[in-house]
Chain A
Amino acid sequence: ILNVEQSPQSLHVQEGDSTNFTCSFPSSNFYALHWYRWETAKSPEALFVMTLNGDEKKKGRISATLNTKEGYSYLYIKGSQPEDSATYLCAFLGNEKLTFGTGTRLTIIP
Chain B
Amino acid sequence: KAGVTQTPRYLIKTRGQQVTLSCSPISGHRSVSWYQQTPGQGLQFLFEYFSETQRNKGNFPGRFSGRQFSNSRSEMNVSTLELGDSALYLCASSEANLLRNSPLHFGNGTRLTVT
Contact = CB atoms under 8 A, between A and B. Distances in A.
Contact of B45 (A31, A99, A102): A99
A43 B90 contact: yes
Contacts of B99: 31, 93, 96
B24 interface: no
A21 interface: no
Interface residues of B, number: 28
B56 A97 contact: yes
Interface in B27-75: 33, 35, 40-45, 48, 55-56, 58-59
A72 to B, nearest CB: 17
Interface of B: 3-4, 33, 35, 40-45, 48, 55-56, 58-59, 90, 92, 98-99, 101-109
23 contacts: A4-B42, A32-B101, A36-B104, A43-B3, A43-B106, A43-B107, A43-B109, A44-B43, A44-B104, A44-B106, A46-B105, A89-B42, A93-B99, A96-B48, A96-B98, A97-B45, A97-B56, A98-B45, A98-B98, A100-B35, A100-B42, A100-B44, A102-B41
